[in-house]
């Protein structure tokens, strides 16, 4: 979504336009849920955080926004951290359910792959993970990511390429293991 469309959408939300909020929800709900689930490892917590983020965009005037995807990511991250602090939840705790929890995640359309992706993302350094999540899920440019993180565009690109190489290695290794069995 370009800057003009993003700011028009936020302005319509501020004016109380239910259709604008619905449009925002349809555009960002999967991204918000995925980021929240990554942080909490819990379906119900991710859904609660999704609701809180949507509510925050409904109630708060963010003014003019250069990068709505970046704002959504930051808002989701801060909301998730606040939610976990308020509910005494550890960042990496899978708080309930074991296999039942994973089955519930897999039952959600399109989220089975997210569980596997989250397992791989856990292996990454925090800054590498932020670059990947923002570039892949939020479609932020490397320049936008670099500006927000206080690094150069080439540093963001290097981090992304390093993760690509690691993922390729992991996928190749997994494929070889599956072919041997």
Mean of pLDDT over the chain: 78
Same domain assignment for residues 5 and 42: yes
Is 92 inside any structural domain? yes
In a domain, 23, yes or no: yes
Contact status, residue 66 vs residue 147, Cβ threshold 8 Å: no
| Tokens 């293991």, located at residue | 177
Range of the domain at 166: 123-181
pLDDT attached to residue 118: 61
Q: 128 with 44, same domain?
A: no
Residues 6+ apart with CB under 8 A from 99: none
pLDDT at 173: 61
Together in a domain, 148 and 86 = no
Same domain, 84 and 129: no
Do 134 and 96 reside in the same domain of the chain?
no
**CA pair distance 146, 142, nearest whole angstrom:** 6
Of 90, 111, 132, which residue sits at a domain end?
Answer: 111
pTM of the entire structure? Answer: 0.57
pLDDT, greater one: 112 or 171:
171
38 & 62 share domain: yes
Sequence-separated (6 or more) residues with CB below 8 Å from residue 83? 40, 45, 48, 49, 52, 89
Q: How far apart (Å, rounded) are the C-alpha atoms in residues 106 and 69?
A: 26
Q: What local confidence, expressed as pLDDT, does residue 53 receive?
A: 95
> Are residue 26 and residue 88 in the same domain, yes or no?
yes
In a domain, 20, yes or no: yes
- Report how many domains make up the chain: 2
Same domain for 99 and 40, yes or no, is yes
Same domain, 16 and 68: yes
């Amino acid at each position: 979504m370009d800057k003009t469309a993003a700011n028009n959408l936020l302005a319509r939300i501020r004016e109380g336009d239910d259709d604008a909020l619905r449009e925002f929800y349809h555009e960002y709900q999967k991204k918000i849920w995925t980021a929240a689930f990554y942080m909490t490892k819990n379906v119900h917590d991710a859904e609660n955080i999704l609701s809180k983020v949507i509510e925050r965009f409904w109630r708060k005037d963010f003014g003019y926004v250069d990068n709505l995807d970046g704002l959504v990511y930051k808002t989701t991250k801060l909301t998730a951290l606040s939610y976990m602090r308020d509910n005494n939840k550890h960042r990496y705790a899978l708080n309930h359910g074991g296999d039942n929890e994973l089955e519930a995640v897999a039952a959600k359309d399109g989220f089975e792959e997210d569980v596997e992706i989250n397992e791989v993302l856990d292996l990454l350094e925090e800054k590498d993970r932020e670059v990947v999540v923002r570039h892949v899920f939020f479609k932020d440019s490397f320049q936008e990511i670099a500006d927000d993180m206080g690094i150069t565009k080439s540093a963001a690109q290097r981090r992304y390429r390093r993760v690509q190489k690691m993922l390729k290695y992991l996928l190749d290794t997994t494929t070889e293991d599956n072919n041997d069995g």
